[in-house]
A and B are shown apart, each in its own frame.
Chain A
Amino acid sequence: MSAILETEGLVKRFGAVAAADGISVRVEEGTVVGLIGGNGAGKTTFLNLVTGHLAPTSGTVRFEGRDITGLPSRRITRLGICRSFQIPQVFASLTARENLLVGLGIVAMGRGAFVGSGLGGEPPEEVADRVLDRFHLAAHRDRPAGVLPEGVRKLLDVAMALSVKPRILLLDEPTSGVSADEKFALMDLVLGAIREERVTVLFVEHDMELVRTCTERVLAFHEGRVIADGPPAAVLEAPEVRRLVVGEPGLREGAC
């Protein structure tokens, strides 16, 4: 299998804090990878570095073998790396459907079309409706995103990232803000939609049960470093991970 995403010695310092302290990982194409770590472990920072929101202090990011370090996030998005956010980033006064149409419109413009889809594809409006259906959001279609419940907004955020057909999708705590008994259903929904698109997925998650069942590989972060990397069972049982990441559920509650 070939690496779709690869980082080498990624370092990001904020003053004295090293939020990323030499992160080197390879993500194989077509896999579903979980990313765990306590508060402030550097998970979000890692996503920010990969997607160009932050420039690394040192180190490189490669996507499909190409060095993308330092590119602005819009270029990285267009290459095929999309993400969702820990705090959902939606267009609050636009309806759910219009939220999707923003991204779909940008894709259409990339094909040279200012109205319609270009090259005879499906019209963006229909694509948007299909995506809403798939994410069980159809009922919220014409409501402004700002008034939707947190969990629904989270789902919309993910749907927006997936709608523009990325090659790899980075999800930052997709189930935070969602009640415990809804988490699995939500993740099933997300992963089901993703599987259809055959996208590589890396998702940040605090719920270890979810990580155990939904991923085929887990990365554990602590203080900006990778402290474990392997199949879920092995990583979640590793003593260091148990001590630094899994062991203290009390600490995690305020995470989102």
Chain B
Amino acid sequence: MSTLAAVLADGMIYAAWLFLIAAGLTMIYGVMRILNMAHGSLYTLGAYTAASLVGAWLRGGHPPLGSFLVLGAAALLVGLVVGPIVERGLLRFTYGRDEVVLVLVTYALFLILEDLVKLVWGVESYYVTEPYGLLGTVDLGPLTYPIYSGLVVLAAIAVGLALRWGIERTRAGKLLVAVIHDREVSAALGIDVSRVFLVTFTVGTTLAALGGALTAPTVAVVPGMGVEVIVLAFAVVVIGGLGSVPGAALGAVLVGLVRSAAVHLLPQLELFSIYLVMALVLAVRPRGLFVAAEARKI
């Protein structure tokens, strides 16, 4: 019984983290048809920025509880600075190219960002565990959980709801849906597609950075910490269907639960459990759960 509870609780915590790192990736793909291999580097940037800013905040003698806001601000900062620079300065020159070429472009970007992080922050580890310890723990029956993990879950839920609301209820969301549906027709109708792309990439970057910022207090912030993130995020995203935000949520929950079940029951299978789910889903639905294959006219 307690194992089941632990599987569920750990699963949801992990799922929340996965959703945070996957939401931006799937959104950028859905709108821009770019599978961003540099997503993990944006996550790393978020973590470093958060570590630096929270460190400065605390050294400055500001109220420690404020560091949660600083985490969010760090993500926003990365999103608003790096997002537009990358989109305007690089990606915009590649629109319309084959999707595989875009993968190569973002892979090159990944290489560049990985070294930029090292040039700015050096190769030492950073620790900002204060926000993590600040909230203390809570007992759920026999299990003890840090309240910080609950915060991450809330953040993921908030992000999910905000994206949903933004896409379904706002004017910008309607434009987004139009662009997803048909880029050329949208442009012909007078929608400023390049602006939609700019906003999308900035939001996606912010989300990646938020994932990193919220992770920073729980780990050592080191170069290369985001290198594996792209693989996990891809696994999550592909299960739901590339480009679908609800799909990413479903994929995150599925992967989160399966992995936590593996951790508790068959620890050797931890890593494979994730890819196993992915391989099984792909074997049955080659384009993921939420995306239908399209026929071609001849």
Contacts and interface: CB of A to CB of B under 8 A. Distances in A.
Interface string B283-298: 0000000000000011
Contacts of A44: 298
A44 B298 CA distance: 8
7 contacts: A44-B298, A48-B298, A53-B298, A85-B298, A86-B298, A87-B298, A89-B298
A85 B297 CA distance: 10
Interface string A25-59: 00000000000000000001000100001000000
Q: Which 3 A-B pairs have the closest CB atoms?
A: A85-B298, A87-B298, A89-B298
B292 to A, nearest CB: 13
Interface range on chain B (Cβ under 8 Å from partner):
under 10
Interface string B164-195: 00000000000000000000000000000000
Interface string B263-298: 000000000000000000000000000000000011
A53 B297 CA distance: 11
Contacts of B298: 44, 48, 53, 85-87, 89
Interface in A70-88: 85-87
Interface residues of A, number: 7
B interface secondary structure, majority? loop
Interface string B41-71: 0000000000000000000000000000000
Given A86-B298, A87-B298, 6 more contacts: A44-B298, A48-B298, A53-B298, A85-B298, A87-B297, A89-B298
A94 to B, nearest CB: 18
A154 B69 CA distance: 64
A155 to B, nearest CB: 18
Nearest to A44: B298
Contacts of A48: 298
A188 B94 CA distance: 46
A50 B298 CA distance: 14
A85 B298 CA distance: 7
A222 B191 CA distance: 40
Contacts of A89: 298
Nearest to A86: B298
Nearest to B298: A85
Contacts of A85: 298
Contacts of A53: 298
Contacts of A87: 297-298
A44 B297 CA distance: 10
Nearest to A83: B298
Nearest to A48: B298
Contacts of B297: 87
B130 to A, nearest CB: 58
A71 B298 CA distance: 18
A164 B298 CA distance: 21
A54 to B, nearest CB: 9
Interface string A69-112: 00000000000000001110100000000000000000000000
B16 to A, nearest CB: 39
A85 B296 CA distance: 13
A89 B297 CA distance: 11
A152 B275 CA distance: 48
Nearest to B297: A87
A53 B296 CA distance: 11
A86 B296 CA distance: 13
A113 to B, nearest CB: 30
Nearest to A53: B298
A53 B298 CA distance: 10
B116 to A, nearest CB: 37
A14 to B, nearest CB: 9
A98 B214 CA distance: 56
A160 B298 CA distance: 16
Interface in A87-145: 87, 89
A177 B152 CA distance: 60
B295 to A, nearest CB: 9
A87 B298 CA distance: 6
A86 B298 CA distance: 7
B150 to A, nearest CB: 46
A205 B61 CA distance: 83
A48 B298 CA distance: 9
B271 to A, nearest CB: 37
A55 to B, nearest CB: 12
A89 B298 CA distance: 8
